[in-house]
Amino acid sequence: MANDTSTIKPYKTKDGGKKEQVADMFNNISKTYDMLNRMMTMGIDTIWRKKAIRSLQSLKPQLILDVATGTGDFAIESLRILKPHKIIGVDISSGMLAVAKEKIAKKGLQDRFEVQLGDSEKLQFEDDTFDAVTVAFGVRNFENLPQGLADIRRVLKPGGRAVILELSNPTAFPIKQLYHFYFHKFTPAMGKLISKDSSAYAYLPESVANFPDGKRFAAITKEVGFTETKVRPQTFGFCTIYECTK
């Protein structure tokens, strides 16, 4: 089973492991990340995010961990929809967290949304701490996917749920061909133009193509101890919502 996500790195000519390179990449693109995200997904990512968050409504989580929180958009939307007592966001990129902190201050969310610099695969929290864990477009960047998923499971309370939103690979004609052109040709060109970091947006399609999506991802969640994983493809298979129960 292809579950080694460490082989695809953002910068092929630089030294360092995937984890260090991913941190550097997000530091480099943090100022333009939100704009590029909206542009590349044509705004559909906002619909995916809301759907993923609403899948937690029946659980009524009060303490949520947002792994790979980035600029904080997913956590802020979770606060609006789920109204938990608190969300803690963790990310490896100080540049992305700086943008998140600006948003938190601007919206006056300091009491409800806290961000921390940290390794998403080695979470600095006790076992059985959180009602829910969310990850939006982050697990694809893990250096060791099974290890990262196992740690997410560890910090969840028994019966808690991890909701993971991640890009995936469409298989149906002609969507597959259109997707390939868009992400392998258009996206790197647009990324280079706006962010001045062509490697970051060339890495995006490579990392998606290498990611064990769908049933393969569900199999890994089972291996690390989740009792059930629902796989919910979105928009012709461009993206998938995974609901993993501890």
Could you tell me if 234 and 51 are in contact, meaning their C-beta atoms sit under 8 angstroms apart? Answer: yes
Closest by CA to 237, choosing from 4, 69, 44, is: 44
71 is in an annotated binding site: yes
Could you tell me if 205 and 184 are in contact, meaning their C-beta atoms sit under 8 angstroms apart? Answer: yes
91 is in an annotated binding site: yes
199 is in an annotated binding site: no
In total, the chain counts a number of residues equal to 246
Could you tell me if 215 and 56 are in contact, meaning their C-beta atoms sit under 8 angstroms apart? Answer: no
Question: What CA–CA distance (Å, rounded) separates 96 from 117?
Answer: 10
245 is in an annotated binding site: no
Structure tokens at 115: 């961000």
* Residues in binding site: 71, 91, 119-120
Q: Pick out the residues of the known binding site for S-adenosyl-L-methionine.
A: 71, 91, 119-120
